[in-house]
Amino acid sequence: MTKTEAELDMLVADLEYENRLLRARNERLETEKTDWVCPFCYATKCETPGECKSLAIRNQVLEEVAKEFDKMKSLGDTAASFAVFVKNMKR
């Protein structure tokens, strides 16, 4: 084997190695893409992230209101019922 052939073999080996790395990276990116979940609606494909964000804010506010009703011990079962009602309003 000549020096030029050896250099070409080394180049081919380097290219094959880079190709394997790129394929592995591509597979990882494809997996991440399918495993992505919207942080607001928990859907894998979210077409309306703005809507999801407002829905998440709405749910957070409802949860806070329900917690405040739970703190109202003087109202007894009525406050607990309101808290459950408000929690059920979440989407």
The answer to whether residues 74 and 51 belong to one domain is yes
The answer to whether residues 53 and 16 belong to one domain is no
- pLDDT(42) > 70: no
Helix axes 77-87, 49-71, angle to 10 degrees: 170
Mean pLDDT, range 18-39, rounded to an integer: 77
The answer to whether residues 8 and 22 belong to one domain is yes
Q: Which residue range(s) make up the domain with 83?
A: 38-91
Token readout for 86 is 């408000």
Give the C-alpha separation, 63 to 90, whole Å. Answer: 8
Query: Global pTM?
Result: 0.48
The answer to whether residues 61 and 79 belong to one domain is yes
The answer to whether residues 28 and 51 belong to one domain is no
**Number of domains composing the chain:** 2
Which tens digit of pLDDT belongs to each residue from 43-72? 666 666 667 777 888 888 999 999 998 888
The answer to whether residues 45 and 28 belong to one domain is no
Which of 38, 64, 33, 63 lies closest to 52 in space, CA to CA?
A: 38
Residue type at position 28: R
The answer to whether residues 14 and 43 belong to one domain is no
